Structure 1
Amino acid sequence: MQSAPDSIRDIFYNHTGNLIHKWDHYFDIYEKYFSKYRGQKINILEIGISHGGSLQLWKKYFGTHVHIYAIDINPDCKKLQEENTTIFIGSQSDKDFLGNVVSQLPELDFVIDDGGHTMEQQLVSFEMLYMKVKEGGLYFVEDTHTSYWDEFHGGLRNPGSFIEKSKDLVDSIYDHHVVDKSKIRIDEITRHINCISFYDSIVVFEKQLRKQPFHKQIGRKTITPYVPVELKKKTILDSIKGIFKKEEAHPFSLNDGGIEEIK
């Protein structure tokens, strides 16, 4: 009987190669999303490779059919390029550089942003690279705790932080329920966000074009629908407001001592 392959946590703790730096709880998140890719022919992009240990980790975990594309600002990282590895040297906040990278990339199964972790770097990379992920793929942003750190241009509830921008994108998933659509973002990227998952220091986007939702009722009615008291109160209040709105729309004038509605 063939034994189960080592988990990514086991591979990490038994690693003796180049330096890798990871929070331990990340491995549970990785296993949840990445296990289905093991042994498959896949293309991934990692931003931020440092000493190259993570490149070795992914190869051990995913197998010989993975091709790793990587970005790092340190020119010395180019020497880490080897078979089934392509390394681009440049800044992840440089749109021109990223545009050139995108032109050379195949469709990606997923992206892991483990780069510089500043707000500009994470936001620019997301905007430039998200649509390069294939349908059903994933976009990971790691170490998003920097959204709460001033030195990374974040801060608690800073509207310019990656976390706050990601929260805003949740509203876009509900775009068909929003009356005033000018208040939410609707574009090609948001139409391809099927799910956003928030973990401690990681945000995961599942890329999939959302279908137009619909609902229907099937079967016969058997009882009188129950309307909660809270909704009844709101309905009455709305009715009163509606009366005043009608009066504002149809003002009254005095006519021979009486009141007559102007038609």
Structure 2
Amino acid sequence: MVTLSNLYAQHRGRVCDKWSLYLRVYEDLFESKRSTALNLLEIGVQNGGSLELWAQYLPNAEHLVGCDINPECGTLFFDDPRISVVVGDANADEAFQSIKSICESYDVIIDDGSHVPRDVVTSFLNYFPMLSPGGTYVVEDVHCDYLDSHV
């Protein structure tokens, strides 16, 4: 099977912004799940390119749900019927209910949202209970800028 890194390099759809290190980690985490009928939630989808990439990498996924606070994400439409986008603050009740109405539980949850610690914690408290047993919860871009070596 084609690797996630190769799919990323060949991707010609919407812009997909991922650190190359993440791609290798995601391959390690999800390689064994590629052929399963899983459900994925990504908080923070920006241009929607990552949803296209996940759709290619996870051909048997049932639901690929993205949520973004940017109203422009309401114009994102995909040919793949497995992809849904909820526009709103993932931590607001309306967006949470919309996400839950699409799928009650998720096998993979990726928080690539605001990156503000308070929001990350709130998202975790809201969405971790929706994680399927044996599922994976990932928080992206948690940088250690408070350490001298990262300033």
Give me the TM-score of the superposition, normalised by structure 1: 0.51
Structure of larger gyration radius: 1
Partner in structure 1 of residue 34 of structure 2: 38
Residue 116 of structure 1 and its aligned partner are, at CA, apart by 1.4
Which amino acid letter does the alignment assign opposite residue 67 of structure 2? Answer: I
The aligned residue for residue 7 of structure 1 is 3
Give yes or no for the alignment of 1:16 onto 2:40: no
- Aligned partners of 2:19, 2:84: CA distance in 1, in Å? 25
Distance 2:21 2:53 in 1: 16
The 8 Å contact of residues 43 and 106 in structure 1, kept in 2 or not, is answered as no
Matched, 1:115 2:105: no
1:224-239 mapped onto 2 (5 Å cutoff): none
- 1:98 touches 1:128 (CA, 8 Å); kept in 2? no
Q: How does 1:82-121 map to 2 (within 5 A)?
A: 82=78, 83-94=81-92, 96-101=93-98, 103-104=100-101, 105-121=103-119
Cα deviation 1:34-92 (Å, max 9, x = unaligned): 11121221111001111111011001101154411111001221222431112111113
Inter-partner Cα distance in structure 2 for 1:128 and 1:65? 23
Q: 2: CA distance between counterparts of 1:63 and 1:49?
A: 19
Specify whether residues 19 and 103 from structure 1 end up closer, same or farther in structure 2 by C-alpha distance, changes over 3 A only: closer
Code of the aligned partner of 2:127: L
Offset, 1:129: 0.2
Q: C-alpha deviations, 1:119-143, integer Å up to 9, x for none?
A: 1221110000001011010100000
- Does structure 1 retain, via aligned residues, the 8 Å contact 2:86–2:95? no
Q: Supply the AA of the counterpart residue of 1:115.
A: G
What residue in structure 2 maps to residue 68 of structure 1?
Answer: 64
Q: 4+ runs of 1 displaced by more than 6 Å?
A: none
Specify every segment of 5 or more residues in structure 2 that has no aligned partner in the other structure, as ranges.
none
Cα deviation, 1:148-206, whole Å, max 9, x if unaligned, reads 34xxxxx45xxxxxxxxxxxxxxxxxxxxxxxxxxxxxxxxxxxxxxxxxxxxxxxxxx
Gaps of 5+ in 1: 150-154, 157-263
The answer (yes or no) to whether the contact 2:64–2:84 under 8 Å persists in 1 is yes
- Asked whether 1:142 is paired with 2:140, we answer yes
Whose relative contact order is higher, 1 or 2, with alpha carbons under 8 Å and at least 6 apart? 2
Among all aligned residue pairs of Structure 1 and Structure 2, give the percentage whose two residues are the same amino acid.
32
Contact conserved, 1:43 with 1:68, CA < 8 A, in 2? Answer: yes
